[in-house]
């Protein structure tokens, strides 16, 4: 698809132009947004509550500071999150029980929102093999780093990889890099960070998050909405009831760090 | 379905008018153009002594007429040609082949006409809602980059709308771009555009005529829900060698044609290539100057008349778009078609056409090169055997019947990697095979002086054939089961009866009312959920999950000509109900997805509208004004909370004005203007943040509008002094004269500097001038 856009771009270089325009967008009643994660490997739960804001507004969104937020573990034990102010609610030293459902419940203004996420055992990162790639193909010469993963048999797995490097050019902390085991079920396989080139001496930190299906689908749809090329963008399907936006995800991770050597 | 009823009705209607006691004889033959031997389609023969008696030629130039014994004067005529009179004493069956010549002194009067139509055929013919164009008629019209294009001109006629700049395809009466059957010499063209829709694949030099059926579609056509665009290639000059061509800014073309055996056979070869990428070579940037971007196409056709009863044709098209970005990325796609055809006059009343047709569309892209590359290849391939008969029963009845069987092979994608270093599994999506069949019968009948009817029935069937895997999905699209089929096993069978009906009632010579009804089934579907269409759009056949699309359309029209048929006016209304329409789940991934059927949701659509046209067909000043008021809506349980929403092509108002003015022998001026309501689009209602990304909040599907589109193009053609052997002209055109910045896309983004959210409009073409030089060696 990228090539197609490049092709379109080439045709356009002759006459095309872009400009910022005014679009009259309809006013919508503010909607509730709950972005929440249980970072199981870090024993912490964070929920951020806000309202949607006018699309062209330059102000910060209105936060929801008067809610009560609680999390329920697979045994049904309810723990209340601290109200940290400015719409943020958090909980620390909350030890995970893997392979179980966690629920987050948010109450305010007489409405209760709840969402459930399955906390999978985090898939281990076996290693971060790297390989020198000469110039010409997909960019400059340099080292391409891959993740070596042993896919757990008999279950569907969904992952998100985050990489942070000492080389700022290849720092993709906020990229949403998703993959699943549809084609590799039960295999030992490698997933490369395809577009990145590293030099000797660079340090790369990789975090492999094991997501549940609902979170994976949420991110997939989020990417499609953010991409801007969809003819019919919609709100990503999520696990909240009562039409709240955002998501609740419980996930664990494994991390590795390497330094590229000659 | 009431199949029995329809057949009974057919027999009854035929029987009602076909008995007669006087002995009858049949006159049959062909009508051709005297200058180059091309068949004339729709030319007519009229009997001077008998009122309302005559016949017209079929698409191969063949006619047949039965009359009682006697002496007659036959008038052979076609629009734009001198009439020929033949006096005959009819006491046996006769074969009369006639050649019609263009008047010796150039008659400007006839310069712009719908080819070979009787002056008032638009009023009196049974067929409604058909638009026919001859490339000759539009050669002076201004077009983008000066590339004359029949497809672009058809989009200026009522009810037909281009999908927009930078988009391939067109919409007919609220239907989707994949609902148009595009035929080139009977062969399906899957992707009719070059350079992502900036040009059509039809090289005007090689084309005889184009007919677009919007309603009352004849029973011989099937397979698409909304319309049929039938493109016929020229046969080539069978009298003498001729070369013609043109040099343009974007591309050049050359056509050669000559007799194989004089008056018996001829060939034509027409080629075209663009050289847009030559400009890129001028760039200093190595990435840009090593980029290739071009298309080419080649049309070839040969025909040979073995004798009066047998004629064979061979025609082919081959075209490709090639794009390479530096050495890192290559992308090309193209169509290839081939048609082998045998015309056989079984007897003076029965005409047979047998065709064997091949069609292929494929695309591939490659990333990297040599040892370290991977690529995706995808294709659709068809073989079609067709048998059509025209049976000229009597002067009031012409029957068409026949069948076809088309074998499809869909290869949705094969991923090939030259190395497994990157851990790719080499993957091929299951190919799909299907057999699509059609059987039809149709009769055109005149009843008295006022009624013309066309009624027919088509049976179509679609058999999805193994080997393959059929998947079962639950209501949210998750796989819940699958079944393996062996090679040759039927995986799914769909079928339907498609009644087709048109009637015209002539009020006076210059006034008529027409009615049409048609039902069409569509068994293969194009998937595209992006704002722009692309050659990589996936085609899926009907299966256990995907049901055939069904379109039912009724149309009613009033036609009026005045000032001796110099002006034609029409008002047509239609209502179209679309069943089993396809849309997509949120975030659906359509490309390279074995389980793509799980991403689909199904719903209904409706389209209705009224189309007005005023057309001036004779004189120095010709052209038309058309206005369409229409809606196109969709309803899906899974989309927009089940509420009705506008289809993207729901353009409420649509105006086209086309003008051609012949100033004198040297100069022809032309202009066209279009205006339409902006496409329905989905924009956000509000925003929120997720992980630092600004995300749009959406409420309703397609509830916003793009800005209205309008554009004026002007053209001037300068004809140089005509020589005996050589003829040339220069065409200057200006696209988008007043430099309107029409929106190609509107995107929403966060400004990198200020952090503010803003809407950004992309415009593809501002004002674009072009010059084309055309020549012809005679």
Report the range out of A257-261, B25-29, B561-565 with the highest average pLDDT.
A257-261
Identify all chain A residues contacting B583, using CB atoms and an 8 Å cutoff: 232
Q: What are phi and psi of B428, to 5 degrees?
A: -125, 125
Lookup: tokens for B203 = 């090289």
Q: What is the pLDDT of residue A100?
A: 95
- Residues of B (421-460) whose Cβ lies below 8 Å from A: 421-423, 425, 427
Report the range out of A33-37, A131-135, B669-673 with the highest average pLDDT.
A33-37
Residue B14: pLDDT over 70: no
Using the Cβ of A42 and the Cβ atoms of chain B, whether some distance falls under 8 Å is answered with no
Identify all chain A residues contacting B747, using CB atoms and an 8 Å cutoff: 228
Residue % of chain B over a pLDDT of 90 = 48
Return all residues near B15 (Cβ < 8 A) that are at least 6 apart. none
Q: What is the pLDDT of residue B163?
A: 84
Each residue's pLDDT tens digit, B422-431:
555 567 888 9
Residue B311: pLDDT over 50: yes
Q: What is the pLDDT of residue B600?
A: 93
Q: What is the pLDDT of residue A8?
A: 46
Using the Cβ of A232 and the Cβ atoms of chain B, whether some distance falls under 8 Å is answered with yes
Fold of A125-234+253-260: Immunoglobulin-like (2.60.40)
The domain segmentation of chain A, as residue ranges, is 32-119, 125-234+253-260
* Disruptive mutation site among B282, B647, B688, B756 for chain A (greatest number of A CBs within 10 Å): B688
Identify all chain B residues contacting A25, using CB atoms and an 8 Å cutoff: 683-685, 704
Short-list B183, B229, B235, B186, CA closest to B206: B235
**Cβ separation of B423 and A232 shorter than 8 Å?**
no
Per the omega criterion (within 30 degrees of 0), is the bond before A203 cis?
no
Using the Cβ of B420 and the Cβ atoms of chain A, whether some distance falls under 8 Å is answered with no
Secondary structure class of B551 (helix, strand, coil): strand
Torsion angle (degrees, nearest 10) of CA B76, B78, B84, B88: 0
Residue range A32-119, CATH number: 2.60.40.10
Query: Which member of B586, B696, B764 has the closest CB to residue A15?
Result: B764
Return all residues near B51 (Cβ < 8 A) that are at least 6 apart. B449
Radius of gyration of chain B (CA): 27
Report the C-alpha gap between B463 and B431 in whole angstroms: 15
Each residue's pLDDT tens digit, B150-164:
888 888 889 998 887
Comparing A11-15, A110-114, B110-114, B389-393, the range with the smallest average pLDDT is B110-114
Average of pLDDT values for B337-352?
A: 94
Q: Which residue of A has its CA nearest to B329?
A: A3
Q: What angle do CA B769, B771, B776 make, to 5 degrees?
A: 155
Q: What is the CATH number of the domain that holds B103?
A: 2.60.40.1120
Report the C-alpha gap between A143 and A200 in whole angstroms: 8
Average of pLDDT values for B314-329?
A: 84
Each residue's pLDDT tens digit, A195-204:
788 889 899 9
Using the Cβ of B96 and the Cβ atoms of chain A, whether some distance falls under 8 Å is answered with no
Q: What is the pLDDT of residue B110?
A: 32
**Cβ separation of A16 and B762 shorter than 8 Å?**
yes
Average of pLDDT values for B441-454?
A: 91
Q: Which residue of A has its CA nearest to B584?
A: A232
Query: Which member of B323, B583, B764 has the closest CB to residue A16?
Result: B764
Comparing B114-118, B195-199, B542-546, B733-737, the range with the smallest average pLDDT is B114-118
Using the Cβ of A156 and the Cβ atoms of chain B, whether some distance falls under 8 Å is answered with no
Comparing A5-9, A151-155, B203-207, B386-390, the range with the smallest average pLDDT is A5-9
Residue B4: pLDDT over 50: no
Q: What is the pLDDT of residue B267?
A: 94
Q: Which residue of B has its CA nearest to A34?
A: B690
The 8-class DSSP code of residue B744 comes to S
Q: What is the pLDDT of residue B16?
A: 42
**Sorting pLDDT into bands at 50, 70 and 90, what band is B419?**
low
Using the Cβ of B761 and the Cβ atoms of chain A, whether some distance falls under 8 Å is answered with yes
Task: Return the number of CB contacts < 8 Å for A and B.
Answer: 207
Short-list A56, A22, A236, A230, CA closest to B685: A56
- Residues of B (477-516) whose Cβ lies below 8 Å from A: none
Using the Cβ of A77 and the Cβ atoms of chain B, whether some distance falls under 8 Å is answered with no
Asked if residue B240 belongs to a domain, the reply is no
Q: What is the pLDDT of residue A72?
A: 97
Mean pLDDT, chain B, integer: 86
Q: What is the pLDDT of residue B769?
A: 86
Residue appearing with tokens 């076809």? B404
Asked if residue B192 belongs to a domain, the reply is no
Residue % of chain B over a pLDDT of 70 = 90
Considering only residues B144 and B228, tell me which one the structure prediction assigns the higher pLDDT.
Answer: B228
Q: What angle do CA B140, B144, B146 make, to 5 degrees?
A: 45
Secondary structure class of A85 (helix, strand, coil): strand
Asked if residue B36 belongs to a domain, the reply is yes
Query: Which member of A31, A190, A225 has the closest CB to residue B423?
Result: A190
Asked if residue B424 belongs to a domain, the reply is no
Each residue's pLDDT tens digit, B634-657:
999 989 989 999 999 999 999 999
Residue B528: pLDDT over 90: no
Can you give the residue range of the structural domain that contains B66? Answer: 3-111
Query: Which member of A11, A19, A226 has the closest CB to residue B693?
Result: A226
Instruction: Annotate B170-226 with three-state secondary structure.
Output: EEECCCCHHHEEEEECCEECCCCEEHHHCEECCCHHHEEEEEEECCCCCCCCCCCCC
Lookup: tokens for A2 = 């990228």
Q: What is the pLDDT of residue A88?
A: 96
Alpha-carbon gap: B588 to the closest alpha carbon of chain A (Å): 8
Alpha-carbon gap: A251 to the closest alpha carbon of chain B (Å): 16
Using the Cβ of A23 and the Cβ atoms of chain B, whether some distance falls under 8 Å is answered with yes
**Cβ separation of A31 and B327 shorter than 8 Å?**
no
**Number of domains observed in the structure of chain B:** 1
Q: Please, are residues B438 and B459 in contact by the beta-carbon 8 Å criterion? A: yes
Q: What are phi and psi of B649, to 5 degrees?
A: -85, 20
Residue B593: pLDDT over 50: yes
Residue appearing with tokens 């000032």? B563
Using the Cβ of B418 and the Cβ atoms of chain A, whether some distance falls under 8 Å is answered with no
Identical fold between A32-119 and A125-234+253-260: yes
Short-list B289, B267, B268, B263, CA closest to B278: B289
Q: Which residue of A has its CA nearest to B768?
A: A15
Q: Which residue of B has its CA nearest to A232?
A: B682
């Amino acid at each position: 698809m990228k090539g197609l856009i490049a092709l379109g771009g080439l045709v356009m270089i002759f006459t095309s132009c872009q400009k910022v325009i005014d679009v009259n967008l309809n006013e919508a009643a503010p909607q509730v947004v709950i972005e929440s994660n249980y970072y199981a490997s870090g024993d912490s739960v964070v929920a951020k509550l806000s309202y949607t804001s006018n699309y062209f507004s330059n102000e910060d969104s209105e936060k929801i500071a008067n809610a009560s937020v609680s999390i329920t573990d697979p045994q049904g034990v309810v723990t209340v999150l601290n109200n940290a102010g400015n719409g943020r609610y958090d909980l620390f030293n909350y030890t995970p029980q893997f392979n179980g459902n966690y629920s987050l419940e948010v109450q305010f203004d007489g409405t209760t929102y709840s969402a459930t996420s399955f906390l999978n055992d985090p898939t281990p990162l076996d290693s971060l093999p790297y390989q020198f790639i000469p110039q010409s193909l997909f960019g400059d010469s340099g080292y391409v780093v891959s993740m070596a993963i042993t896919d757990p048999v008999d279950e569907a797995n969904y992952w998100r990889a985050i990489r942070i490097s000492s080389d700022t050019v290849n720092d993709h902390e906020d990229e949403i890099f998703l993959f699943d085991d549809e084609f590799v079920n039960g295999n030992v396989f490698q997933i490369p960070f395809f577009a990145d080139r590293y030099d000797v001496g660079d340090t790369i930190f990789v975090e492999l998050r094991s997501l549940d299906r609902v979170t994976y689908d949420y991110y997939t749809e989020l990417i499609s909405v953010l991409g801007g090329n969809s003819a019919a963008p919609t709100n990503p399907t999520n696990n909240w009831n009562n039409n709240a936006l955002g998501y609740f995800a419980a996930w664990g991770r494994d991390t590795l760090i390497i330094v590229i050597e000659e | 379905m009431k199949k029995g009823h329809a057949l009974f009705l057919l027999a009854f209607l035929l029987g009602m008018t076909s008995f007669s006691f006087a002995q009858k004889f049949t006159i049959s033959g062909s009508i051709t153009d005297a200058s180059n031997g091309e068949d004339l389609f729709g030319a007519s023969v009229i009997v001077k002594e008998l009122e309302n008696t005559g016949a017209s030629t079929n698409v191969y130039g063949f006619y047949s007429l039965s009359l009682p014994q006697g002496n007659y004067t036959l008038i052979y005529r076609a629009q734009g040609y001198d009439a020929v009179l033949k006096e005959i004493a009819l006491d046996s069956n006769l074969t009369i082949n006639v050649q019609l010549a263009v008047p010796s002194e150039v008659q400007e009067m006839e310069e712009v006409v719908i080819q070979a139509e009787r002056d008032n055929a638009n009023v009196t013919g049974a067929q409604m809602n058909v638009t026919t164009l001859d490339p000759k008629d539009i050669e002076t019209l201004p077009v983008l980059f000066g590339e004359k294009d029949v497809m672009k001109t058809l989009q200026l006629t009522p009810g037909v709308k281009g999908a927009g700049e930078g988009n391939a395809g067109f919409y007919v009466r609220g239907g989707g771009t994949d609902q148009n059957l595009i035929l080139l010499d009977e062969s399906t063209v899957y992707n009719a555009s070059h350079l992502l829709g900036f040009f059509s694949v039809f090289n005007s030099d090689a084309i005889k005529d184009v007919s677009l059926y919007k309603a009352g579609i004849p029973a011989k056509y099937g397979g698409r829900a909304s319309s049929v665009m039938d493109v016929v290639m020229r046969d080539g000059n069978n009298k003498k060698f001729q070369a013609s061509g043109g040099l343009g800014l974007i591309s050049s073309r050359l056509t050669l044609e000559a007799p194989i055996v004089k008056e018996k056979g001829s060939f034509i070869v027409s080629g075209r290539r663009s050289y847009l990428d030559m400009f890129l070579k001028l760039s200093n940037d190595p990435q840009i100057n090593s980029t290739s971007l071009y298309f080419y196409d080649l049309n070839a056709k040969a025909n040979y008349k073995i004798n009066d009863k047998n004629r064979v044709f061979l025609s082919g098209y081959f075209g490709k778009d090639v794009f390479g970005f530096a050495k890192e990325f290559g992308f090309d796609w193209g169509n290839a078609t081939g048609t082998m055809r045998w015309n056989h006059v079984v007897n003076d009343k029965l005409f047979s056409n047998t065709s064997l047709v091949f069609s292929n569309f494929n695309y591939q892209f490659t990333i990297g090169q040599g040892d370290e590359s991977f690529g995706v290849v995808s294709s659709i391939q068809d073989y079609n055997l067709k048998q059509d008969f025209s049976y000229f029963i009597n002067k009031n009845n012409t029957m068409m019947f026949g069948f076809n069987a088309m074998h499809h092979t869909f290869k949705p994608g094969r991923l090939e990697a030259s190395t497994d270093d990157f851990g790719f599994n080499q993957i091929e999506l299951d190919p799909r095979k299907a057999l699509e069949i059609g059987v039809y019968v149709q009769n055109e009948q005149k009843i008295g002086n006022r009624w013309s009817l066309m009624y027919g029935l088509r049976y179509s069937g679609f058999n999805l054939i193994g080997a393959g895997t059929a998947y079962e999905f639950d209501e949210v699209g998750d796989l819940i089961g699958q079944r393996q089929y062996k090679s040759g096993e039927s995986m799914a069978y769909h079928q339907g009866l498609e009644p087709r009906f048109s009637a015209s009632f002539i009020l006076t010579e210059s006034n008529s009312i027409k009615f049409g009804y048609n039902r069409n089934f569509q068994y293969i579907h194009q998937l595209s959920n992006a704002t722009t269409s692309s050659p990589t759009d996936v085609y899926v056949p009907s299966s256990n999950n995907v049901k055939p699309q069904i379109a039912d359309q009724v149309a009613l029209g009033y036609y009026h000509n005045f000032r001796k048929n110099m002006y034609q006016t029409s008002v047509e209304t239609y209502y179209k109900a679309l069943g089993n329409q396809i849309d997509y789940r949120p975030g659906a991934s359509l490309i390279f997805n074995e389980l793509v059927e799980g991403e689909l949701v199904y719903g209904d659509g409706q389209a209705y509208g009224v189309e007005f046209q005023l057309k001036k067909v004779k004189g120095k000043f010709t052209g038309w004004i058309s206005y369409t008021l229409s809606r196109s809506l969709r309803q899906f349980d899974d989309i927009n909370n089940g509420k009705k929403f506008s289809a993207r092509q729901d353009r409420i108002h649509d105006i086209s004005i086309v003008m051609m003015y012949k100033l004198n022998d040297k100069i022809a001026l032309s202009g066209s203007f279009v205006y339409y309501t902006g496409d329905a689009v989905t924009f956000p209602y509000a925003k929120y943040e997720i992980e630092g990304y600004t995300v749009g909040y959406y409420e309703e599907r397609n509830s916003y509008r793009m800005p209205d589109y309008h554009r004026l193009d002007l053209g001037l053609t300068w004809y140089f002094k005509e020589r005996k052997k050589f003829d040339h002209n220069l065409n200057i055109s200006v696209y988008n004269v007043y430099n309107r910045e029409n929106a190609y896309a509107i995107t929403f983004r966060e400004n990198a500097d200020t952090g503010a959210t803003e809407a950004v409009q992309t415009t593809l073409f501002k004002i674009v001038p072009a010059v084309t030089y055309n020549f012809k060696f005679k």
